[in-house]
Amino acid sequence: MRAHRLARGWLLPAWLAVAVLVGGLVFAAGHRGGGGPAPPPRPLAGLAAVSAARDTSTGHRLVVSLTFDDGYADQLVGAQELLRHKLPGTFYVPSGWVGLPGYLSLAQVREMRAKGLEIGGHTVLHENLPDVDVAEARREVCDDRANWLGWGIPVTSFAYPYDALGPRERRIVRDCGYNSARQLGDLHSVRSPADCADCPYTEQIPPPDPYDVRAPAEFDSGWTLGDLINEVRGAERHGGWLPLTFHHVCDGCSDIGIPPQTLRRFLDWLAPRAAHGTAVLPVDAVVGGSVRAPHRLGAPAAAPPGHDAVRDGSLERWQHGEPACFRPTSYGRNSVTVRRTGTAHGGRFAASLTVRGYHSGAAQLMPLLDLGSCAPAVAPGRRYTLGVWYTATAPTTPVLYYRTARGAWTAWSVGPPTQPATGTWRQLSWRTPSVPDGATAVSFGLRLRSAGTVVTDGYRLVG
């Protein structure tokens, strides 16, 4: 069973939609009532401890790895708990999300690493790798690792976003210099034993395929403290390696969040299990291997002056119910649908985006916020003229985003609002500000901030 696998989503990340600062978390002494500086972690045991933890003539031995995915800011609570218990952990963080509201800052990640916690790769933008072409998948994996090494943080372990992988993805991770890659759902889980009835209870040490490291299903709101303890007890009867996966560390903020009190009580129970032959180690200590050189692919070159930078702007090609190289995105409380319509300005097709049940937020159709396969590549300092034909039952607003050199996307500018246009096609034409230094691509769309429908066609961006 593959866990944490999501359908192609339309939710615009909150850090791109609105300026929302979350939590005010700071990795500092006394955080969340810590009562003073967190004690330093004990030295990581390394491969000698792994060898000692394997099955021996004296009985089964187990290695547990505590892994945290996605780089949420509330994982600082988990980091503090690990350090308080003198236990290591592995944090898989998308480098393109570092420093964004609601996510770990680079300073926080560096301090976590300095205190003995492992940082692992999770792609630049948390992309579902099988959904993109091979060049984009390589950029996501290789450039992510290059970002980390460029920041002085050696990463050797990787986790697949959405647990989405196949032979192609395993090869890419290996070629990008990682020593291991963790998936989800192919070990027995006490929460859903019928879903993986024939699965083993633990991974082998060393794993048969280090780029397909097996793990139980991720922790979610259905898990209890007893489930976590029983997961470890069951694995102890078999010996081997048990990677456990967490996401948010919070009370009720997410259906894949673990309450801090539950994590604390689990670690209270787990730390003394060393006396029973159960070691807690980070992933890199279990797998081993050297830190290999990075391989950065980088962004494609900008379109020459006078050439249209938008790919498939005519919306004639459709894939998975969406125009190729475009994505409907939204945030807030509303319901968004997109469909192909034969009422086009040019060619055969246009895209109709409808917002219903509006309470808050906005929605728009725009070129994919990716690393290069679809996003319009631009040159810093140059101004561009964007254009799109539209009809709309409600006012819309052109919005602009740009991509930084490390692959992160950020909100840039808002254009003049448009009035409803029903029955007659109108063209929006807007001259952008100068592209910021370091920007490598832009994306844009007509934002609908109310219930209504906007039909678009003929996207262009010329500089």
Q: What CATH number did the domain enclosing 262 receive?
A: 3.20.20.370
Q: What was the pLDDT predicted at 423?
A: 85
Secondary structure letter of residue 326 according to DSSP: E
Q: Taking 70 as the threshold, does the pLDDT of residue 341 lie above it?
A: yes
Q: What is the mean pLDDT of the chain?
A: 89
Residues 334 and 223 in one domain: no
399: β partners: 414, 445
If you average pLDDT over residues 247-268, what whole number do you get? 97
Q: Give the predicted TM-score (pTM) of the model.
A: 0.87
Let me know the angle formed at the C-alpha of 170 by 169 and 172, rounded to the nearest 5 degrees: 65
Of 266, 287, 308, which residue is a domain's last? 287
Residues 354 and 268 in one domain: no
Q: What was the pLDDT predicted at 13?
A: 52
More confident position, 23 or 222: 222
Residues 268 and 384 in one domain: no
Q: Taking 60 as the threshold, does the pLDDT of residue 279 lie above it?
A: yes
User: Which of 432, 328, 445, 325 has its CA nearest to residue 378?
Assistant: 432
Domain count, the chain: 2
445: β partners: 399
Contact (CB, 8 A) for 393 and 422: yes
Residue 409 lies in a domain: yes
90: β partners: 67, 118
Residues 52 and 180 in one domain: yes
If you average pLDDT over residues 357-370, what whole number do you get? 97
Residue 233 lies in a domain: yes
Task: Quick: pLDDT tens for 408-441.
Answer: 999 999 999 999 999 899 999 999 999 999 999 9
Q: What was the pLDDT predicted at 351?
A: 98
Residues 346 and 394 in one domain: yes
d(C-alpha 83, C-alpha 40), whole Å: 6
Of 287, 303, 333, which residue is a domain's last? 287
Q: Taking 60 as the threshold, does the pLDDT of residue 299 lie above it?
A: yes
d(C-alpha 176, C-alpha 297), whole Å: 10
Q: Taking 90 as the threshold, does the pLDDT of residue 18 lie above it?
A: no
Asked whether the CA dihedral 187, 191, 194, 195 is positive or negative, the reply is negative
Contact (CB, 8 A) for 264 and 81: yes
Secondary structure letter of residue 377 according to DSSP: B
Residues 276 and 364 in one domain: no
Task: Quick: pLDDT tens for 70-92.
Answer: 999 999 999 999 999 999 999 99
More confident position, 54 or 224: 224
Among 193-202, 264-273, 310-319, the minimum mean pLDDT is found in: 193-202
User: For a pLDDT cut of 90, what percent of the chain falls above it?
Assistant: 84
Q: Taking 80 as the threshold, does the pLDDT of residue 173 lie above it?
A: yes
Residues 181 and 322 in one domain: no
Indicate the pLDDT class of residue 16, thresholds 50, 70 and 90. low
Q: What was the pLDDT predicted at 243?
A: 99
d(C-alpha 246, C-alpha 255), whole Å: 11
Residue 26 lies in a domain: no
Q: What was the pLDDT predicted at 56?
A: 35
Residue 199 lies in a domain: yes
Q: What CATH number did the domain enclosing 341 receive?
A: 2.60.120.260
Residue 93's H or E segment, with its range, is strand 90-93
Residues 97 and 238 in one domain: yes
- What's the domain range around 165? 41-287
Let me know the angle formed at the C-alpha of 400 by 103 and 333, rounded to the nearest 5 degrees: 60
d(C-alpha 349, C-alpha 397), whole Å: 22
Residues 272 and 326 in one domain: no
Which residues, 6+ apart, have CB-to-CB distance to 56 below 8 Å? Answer: none
Of 269, 287, 305, which residue is a domain's last? 287
Q: What was the pLDDT predicted at 62?
A: 97
Residues 357 and 213 in one domain: no
**Token reading at 369:** 């916020």
Residues 188 and 274 in one domain: yes
Residue 24 lies in a domain: no
Question: Of how many residues is the chain composed?
Answer: 463
Task: Quick: pLDDT tens for 379-398.
Answer: 999 999 999 999 999 999 99
Indicate the pLDDT class of residue 196, thresholds 50, 70 and 90. confident
Q: What was the pLDDT predicted at 210?
A: 98
Task: Quick: pLDDT tens for 108-167.
Answer: 999 999 999 999 999 999 999 999 999 999 999 999 999 999 999 999 999 999 999 999
Q: What was the pLDDT predicted at 39?
A: 28
If you average pLDDT over residues 28-45, what whole number do you get? 30
Q: What was the pLDDT predicted at 6?
A: 38
Residue 11 lies in a domain: no
Residue 181 lies in a domain: yes
> Whose structure tokens read 């955080």?
31
Residue 309 lies in a domain: no
Task: Quick: pLDDT tens for 304-324.
Answer: 999 999 999 999 999 999 999
If you average pLDDT over residues 85-109, what whole number do you get? 98
**Token reading at 119:** 């940082």
Residues 222 and 74 in one domain: yes
